[in-house]
Amino acid sequence: MEINYDKSVFKTGMKDGIPIALGYFAVALALGIVARNAGVTALQGFFSSLITISASGEYAGFAMMAEKAPYIELAVMTFIINARYILMSLTLSQKFHESTSLLHRAIIGFFVTDELFAITAARKGYINPYYTYGAAFVAAPAWALGTGVGIVMGNILPSKVVSALSVALFGMFLALTVPAAKNNKVIFSVIIISYIASFVFPMIPAFSGISDGMKAIILTIIIASVYAVLFPREEGEA
């Protein structure tokens, strides 16, 4: 039996997507500064954000592009950073009605970001794709536009101002990690150890010849693996 989706929720999705769009635009401005430093044009930045929609993934990508890192490092780092979206997609897959077409599932999968996942998963009952489409219709262009505008700003503003704006993206990462660390000692320890390891690791002579991108990949895999073994999450744990 097929489910008849109420397409009127598209407007509801747009309404719920406005706060997300505003946040996306603000963060994307800082991301655009990073992209500009990597030699990315405003048009390139716009479309890269439109088809990616990942702050941490794009930041790592643009930063590694600025360092002229090999493609394989860029691909591996992006995969590791965005691996959490696999888990989010698996979660959402349990909320689809069995008659939901593959096309709807694929489009929803494309728009799985932290924020869009949260509002989609929070709705009761089966997923209505048109709700997520409405939210993405507002949020995705704002993210892409913010990146393009950030690049333009980086080309116009004085270098000191551009350098100051570059700090904004690090502020975003702090905003994501601090609340989680306050409520979870394990996450807090992961963050502290990651910071210390990132500082100490480049000083080890054996790894002096490895690029910054590969060092980040190695540290991410090691720290995440150790904590996954020592502090596994129980099934059904919030």
- Per-residue pLDDT of 85-113, as tens digits, reads 888 888 898 899 988 999 999 999 999 98
Task: Give the span between the Cα atoms of 86 and 80, in whole angstroms.
Answer: 11
Residues 57-74: pLDDT tens digits?
A: 898 889 888 888 888 888
Greatest alpha-carbon span in the chain: 64
Rounded CA separation 63/34 (Å) = 7
List b or e across 145-160, with b for residues whose CB sees 16 or more CB atoms inside 10 angstroms: bbbbbbbbbbeeeeee
Residues 190-202 as b/e (b if ≥16 CB within 10 A, e otherwise) read: bbeebeebeeebe
| Tens digits of residue pLDDT in 117-164 | 888 988 888 999 999 999 999 999 999 999 999 999 888 877 676 666
Asked if 115 contacts 132 with a C-beta cutoff of 8 angstroms, the reply is no
Q: Are 40 and 151 in contact (CB under 8 A)?
A: yes
Please tell me the pTM assigned to this model: 0.72
